[in-house]
A and B are shown apart, each in its own frame.
Chain A
Amino acid sequence: MTNPRPVKLDCRNVWKLYGTGADRLLQDHVAPTLDDMREAGLIGAVRDASVQIHEGEIFVIMGLSGSGKSTLVRCLSRLIEPTAGEVNFEGRNLLTVPEKDLIEIRRKKMGMVFQQFALLPHLTVLQNAAFPLDVQGVDRATREARAREVVELVGLKGREDYYPRELSGGQQQRVGIARSLAVEPDLWFLDEPFSALDPLIRREMQDEFLRLQALLHKTIVFITHDFDEAIRLADRIAVMKDGEIVQTATPEELVLNPATDYVGEFTKHIPRAKVLRLSSIMSPGDAESVAGQLPGTARVEDVADQIEAADLPFRVIDGAGEAIGTVDGRAVIDVLIGRSHG
């Protein structure tokens, strides 16, 4: 599947090895194996990671703790210096730009949200949100006006003068989000932003996040260890294990064709109806008499009732309104009870 949107962040063959002699190992071996590393006494936090993140997409990096996802996102923003590789952002390799330019890029083009919120305890909500602008030397009136906008955007209007300690976890993370949006970043990193929150609040924040994205259309790199969260939010997902990206695909592709047993373990328990779209379960060809038309991008879960209630199959159409196949009640039931096709 080709993605029509241009690549915003292109990360090629990034390595991050911990231990002495990491550079030498990478010079000697083009692609050292886990055994090579064990022998050299090194730990491979990120191994040969390549991802392309397209403009305006939500790209989720999913992995369990210790899989290297946090390290990878820090390599992408160069909070951690990768051992080898390239990270191209708008045509420049971030890993070689001078410190001064990097500061400028971070000031103007990047925003990041952190797992533990990382709010500055001595500043109020408004001052926290205005902090990135303060660092840039923006005058007080301008930066506070902008901070008020983003604070309102995340739904904290009226709490501008609160200190972080006076807010709940969910509210604190809203401040974290407001702060990362204050500079109108092109590239938005979210490092497990909702993992420290209660499940109910987490769900609410995910909705909030989707609402914001519908409004702002940022290019997003989102880290999570929660596969449900990944499925719910992602346009595309990269699954990491032991520092390696095992598969990069849309949620649907992951569920339908897990590349390894490891990925399969995750997808097995995912209710397919929530992930699969009609275009994946339709039968090819067209039918004479149909109950109606449905877009191929509709999720099974959302149209299941409709299809099941009808006696006739539905015609599935693509974006241009062309018929691409048909879907009937049986196909939907297959998905719902987990029966394989055919």
Chain B
Amino acid sequence: MTALRRPYIFWLALFAVTWALSRWSFPLYKALDARWIIKFPKAWELPLEGWISAAMAWLVESATFGLFTFRDLTRFISALIEAPYDLVRNLLVDGFQTGLGQNAVEVAPSLSWIAVIAVVGALAYYAKDWKLAVLVGACFLYLAIFGQWESAMVTLASVLISVPMGAVGGLALGILSYRYQWFERALRPMLDLMQTVPVFAYLVPILFLFGFGPVSALVATIIYAMPPMVRITTVALQTVPPEVHDVGKMTGCTRRQMMWKVLVPVATPTLMVGVNQVIMLSLNMVIIASMIGAGGLGFDVLGALRRLDIGAGVEAGLAIVVMAVALDRLSQAFAVRERGHAITGGFVKRHPWGVTVVLVIVGTFLAGQFLPALQTYPDGATVTTSRFWSGAIEWINVNFFDTFEAIKVFFLNWLMLPVKRFFGGIPWPWGVVALGLIGWRLGGWRLGLLCAVMTLFIAASGLWPKAMVTVYLCGVSVLIASVIGIPLGVLAAQNERAGGIIGGFIDTLQTLPSFVYLIPVVMLFRVGDFSAMIAVVLYALAPAVRYAAHGIRSIDPGMIEAGKVSGCTRRQLLWRIKLPLAAPSLLLGLNQTIMLALSMLVITALVGTRDLGQEVYIALTKANTGQGIIAGLSVAFIAIIADRIVTALARKSKERLGLEA
């Protein structure tokens, strides 16, 4: 036991035992004739899956609240979401009609493309300046010219509905958890879980409750986008300076006045950051939710991926990118916008933009009656780049096939397959023990117990092999993301010009909905683990870079000067001073990288991985709630274990550096 307390020996021994067991688990099972070693006995499996499915079926079919049934409730919620959605959708895409089907008569057309561009341009000018107005206008013009208008407007309609609902809902929950501690205590674990349960897992029960269609997609989107808003609201309210509270009290504010006249307005800049997040997450989810009927750009990408229609996929993907950039810049501009001075004068003078926009809308509506091109962007004038992209990808594939193949084979043979074999071979009982030991070692017996129990849950759900595939894919991706990301981050922190370029690149990567990453990867490497790995690396790169840069930048300059005075070379400065001091920050980045990798990993099930993501995806296609939730929880547990272990590591390294007691 005393030997075990020495750090290196403990970790070496743990690894050696794990490796040996992994290598010889099969012969061991043969020799002992104990099949339970490698496969969790069917008889012991938890019947949770069946229970959950049965409970859901009961909920939908016979649950009742006395006055109304559960189904009435879901129908009510559907109606509540559907009505505004239909309105916005009519406004943006379909136009207003009376009657149904064949008898439908158009009452009024949708907003013309020119009107929509004018509106977003005016918003951008209002929020910031001419440059932004031109950028955002150009983004939307791109959608029209390249024939993505209709799909984009369907997506935009979903975003426009889910953002206010998500933001207002998040604000309300955030205010409640700020006011009532018990509420926060109850809500926090749910938020933690919701952030780690993969998005697909939400879709399954929602699909079951609301059926296939836009409403399901919107519900999923709202639920997905709300947690960050809740957190940001609570934090924003908590960080209002105490003196501002005192001002409110001393001027005799009631509780309501305190909230709405003092706290919320003072916290508004931070709250707007939350709204920006809600917008970006909504866009991300609306794209993913095309699988359960959201339609729009996501549906186009999905369809193209399924048909392996390279050109169409790239086109729709680019449209998503363009839209993401426009929405992100616009909402960020609103977040940092400073109030200008009031303009005095007549109505027109005070509201120049409102008036212009109304004029454009009315003008294009009237003119559109005679000149359809003003109403709907003419098909003939659209430019399709589909053939170009197909050609380009084909050319790359023809000319560089061998290169890509060589890269792929190299990674598979030398990194991915050995790691896969290692994790795949670990017998589940040892997995439970090993994680328990790691948790105990780093964070005490509580953490050890938590890790062991969560691991056991995964094994007992019969998901051990798939969980190990998830761990292997996630591990390899995080490793590569760190190997690329940390040096980039260090470079960005040390060189201002490089920092600007890398920062811009990473910002753009982060605004892209996760779906988009799949497109180029599949085009170049086809389906499989390697493609999945590349997509995950791209998606999870950002936090590794950001936290590394942040860690290096926030080192006390005095320490670096001390190093220089001691005669360190640049290299020594980096390795002996900067990196060790940035270690806690690097670990936080690692944590975030793991979280993002796991969430992306589930989406890569679409390109044919055989991990827990696939399990969720299968559950989704079969609308099997129990299976989906169990697999989703398993992913969440992996995320939680990783999070707690890395956090414990970060705490240890902070203590070692004396940064925190």
A residues contacting B by CB (< 8 A) are 74, 77, 79, 103-108, 110-112, 114-118, 120-123, 131-132, 134-136, 161, 163, 165, 179-180, 183, 189
Given the interface contacts A122-B266, A161-B342, A163-B339, does A134 sit within 8 Å of B247 by beta carbon? no
- In the assembled complex, B249 has its CB within 8 A of some CB on chain A: yes
A265 to B609, CA, bound (A): 76
Given the interface contacts A134-B261, A135-B261, does A104 sit within 8 Å of B250 by beta carbon? no
- The 8 Å CB contact of B341, one of A120, A161, A179, A183, is A161
**CB contact list, B245-302 vs A, under 8 A:** 246-247, 249-254, 257, 261-262, 265-266, 268
A-side contacts of B254, CB under 8 Å: 103
A295 to B250, CA, bound (A): 41
> Of all chain B residues, which has the CB nearest A133?
B251
A121 to B250, CA, bound (A): 18
A161 to B339, CA, bound (A): 11
Given the interface contacts A121-B266, A135-B261, A163-B339, does A110 sit within 8 Å of B247 by beta carbon? no
A-side contacts of B246, CB under 8 Å: 74, 79, 112, 114, 118
- In the assembled complex, B33 has its CB within 8 A of some CB on chain A: no
> Of all chain A residues, which has the CB nearest B246?
A79
B244–A136 contact, CB under 8 A? no
A156 to B599, CA, bound (A): 55
> Of all chain B residues, which has the CB nearest A116?
B243
Apart from A107-B252, A118-B246, A135-B257, 9 more pairs, CB < 8 Å: A105-B252, A106-B251, A111-B250, A120-B247, A122-B339, A132-B251, A135-B252, A179-B247, A179-B251
A-side contacts of B341, CB under 8 Å: 161
B250–A110 contact, CB under 8 A? yes
A-side contacts of B265, CB under 8 Å: 120, 122-123
**CB contact list, B427-481 vs A, under 8 A:** none
A165–B338 contact, CB under 8 A? yes
B-side contacts of A161, CB under 8 Å: 341-342
B249–A106 contact, CB under 8 A? yes
- Shortest distance from the beta carbon of A266 to any chain B beta carbon, whole Å: 27
A104 to B241, CA, bound (A): 24
The 6 A-B pairs with the shortest beta carbon distances in the complex, nearest first, are A107-B252, A118-B243, A132-B251, A106-B252, A112-B250, A114-B243
- Shortest distance from the beta carbon of B263 to any chain A beta carbon, whole Å: 10
A189 to B338, CA, bound (A): 32
B-side contacts of A183, CB under 8 Å: 251
B250–A103 contact, CB under 8 A? no
A-side contacts of B241, CB under 8 Å: 116, 118
B250–A79 contact, CB under 8 A? yes
**CB contact list, B224-252 vs A, under 8 A:** 241, 243-244, 246-247, 249-252
- The 8 Å CB contact of A131, one of B251, B338, B339, is B251
Given the interface contacts A120-B265, A163-B339, does A103 sit within 8 Å of B243 by beta carbon? no
A-side contacts of B244, CB under 8 Å: 118, 120
A104–B252 contact, CB under 8 A? yes
**CB contact list, B300-348 vs A, under 8 A:** 338-339, 341-342
B266–A103 contact, CB under 8 A? no
B-side contacts of A120, CB under 8 Å: 244, 247, 262, 265-266
Residue among A111, A118, A134, A179 facing the most chain B CB atoms (10 A cut-off)? A118
Listed by A's residue number, 7 A-B pairs whose Cβ atoms lie within 8 Å are A79-B249, A103-B254, A112-B247, A112-B250, A118-B246, A161-B341, A163-B339
A121 to B244, CA, bound (A): 10
B-side contacts of A115, CB under 8 Å: 243
Interface size class of B (residues with CB under 8 A): 20 to 34
A-side contacts of B342, CB under 8 Å: 161
> Of all chain A residues, which has the CB nearest B344?
A161
B-side contacts of A104, CB under 8 Å: 252
A-side contacts of B250, CB under 8 Å: 77, 79, 106, 110-112, 180, 189
A135–B253 contact, CB under 8 A? yes
- Shortest distance from the beta carbon of A176 to any chain B beta carbon, whole Å: 9
Given the interface contacts A79-B246, A118-B243, A161-B342, does A136 sit within 8 Å of B252 by beta carbon? yes
A117 to B244, CA, bound (A): 9
A165 to B341, CA, bound (A): 13
A189 to B250, CA, bound (A): 10
B-side contacts of A108, CB under 8 Å: 252
B-side contacts of A131, CB under 8 Å: 247, 251, 261
Residue among A105, A122, A123, A163 facing the most chain B CB atoms (10 A cut-off)? A122
- Shortest distance from the beta carbon of B636 to any chain A beta carbon, whole Å: 36
- Shortest distance from the beta carbon of A216 to any chain B beta carbon, whole Å: 18
**CB contact list, B198-248 vs A, under 8 A:** 241, 243-244, 246-247
A110 to B249, CA, bound (A): 11
- Shortest distance from the beta carbon of A195 to any chain B beta carbon, whole Å: 12
- Shortest distance from the beta carbon of B265 to any chain A beta carbon, whole Å: 5
A-side contacts of B261, CB under 8 Å: 131, 134-135
> Of all chain A residues, which has the CB nearest B341?
A161
A103 to B253, CA, bound (A): 7
- Shortest distance from the beta carbon of B260 to any chain A beta carbon, whole Å: 11
> Of all chain B residues, which has the CB nearest A105?
B252
Given the interface contacts A115-B243, A161-B342, A165-B338, does A132 sit within 8 Å of B266 by beta carbon? no
B-side contacts of A118, CB under 8 Å: 241, 243-244, 246-247
B251–A107 contact, CB under 8 A? yes
B-side contacts of A136, CB under 8 Å: 252
Residue among B246, B250, B266, B342 facing the most chain A CB atoms (10 A cut-off)? B250
A79 to B247, CA, bound (A): 10
- Shortest distance from the beta carbon of A189 to any chain B beta carbon, whole Å: 8
A-side contacts of B243, CB under 8 Å: 114-118
A25 to B247, CA, bound (A): 32
- Shortest distance from the beta carbon of A183 to any chain B beta carbon, whole Å: 8
B-side contacts of A105, CB under 8 Å: 252
A123 to B262, CA, bound (A): 10
- Shortest distance from the beta carbon of B565 to any chain A beta carbon, whole Å: 34
- Shortest distance from the beta carbon of A164 to any chain B beta carbon, whole Å: 11
- Shortest distance from the beta carbon of B145 to any chain A beta carbon, whole Å: 40
A107 to B251, CA, bound (A): 5
- Shortest distance from the beta carbon of A203 to any chain B beta carbon, whole Å: 23
B-side contacts of A111, CB under 8 Å: 250
A288 to B252, CA, bound (A): 62
A115 to B246, CA, bound (A): 11
B-side contacts of A134, CB under 8 Å: 261
A118 to B249, CA, bound (A): 12
Residue among B253, B257, B262, B265 facing the most chain A CB atoms (10 A cut-off)? B253
> Of all chain A residues, which has the CB nearest B342?
A161
A114–B247 contact, CB under 8 A? yes
A-side contacts of B247, CB under 8 Å: 112, 114, 118, 120, 131, 179
B-side contacts of A79, CB under 8 Å: 246, 249-250
B-side contacts of A132, CB under 8 Å: 251-252
A-side contacts of B266, CB under 8 Å: 120-122
B-side contacts of A165, CB under 8 Å: 338
- Shortest distance from the beta carbon of B273 to any chain A beta carbon, whole Å: 15
B-side contacts of A110, CB under 8 Å: 250
A-side contacts of B339, CB under 8 Å: 122, 163
B-side contacts of A135, CB under 8 Å: 251-253, 257, 261
> Of all chain B residues, which has the CB nearest A182?
B251
B338–A103 contact, CB under 8 A? no
- Shortest distance from the beta carbon of B376 to any chain A beta carbon, whole Å: 41
A161 to B251, CA, bound (A): 21
A134 to B261, CA, bound (A): 10
A-side contacts of B338, CB under 8 Å: 163, 165
A103–B252 contact, CB under 8 A? yes
> Of all chain B residues, which has the CB nearest A134?
B261
- Shortest distance from the beta carbon of A340 to any chain B beta carbon, whole Å: 45
Residue among B243, B261, B338 facing the most chain A CB atoms (10 A cut-off)? B243
- Shortest distance from the beta carbon of A94 to any chain B beta carbon, whole Å: 13
- Shortest distance from the beta carbon of B89 to any chain A beta carbon, whole Å: 34
A74 to B246, CA, bound (A): 9
A327 to B261, CA, bound (A): 60
B-side contacts of A180, CB under 8 Å: 250
> Of all chain B residues, which has the CB nearest A123?
B265
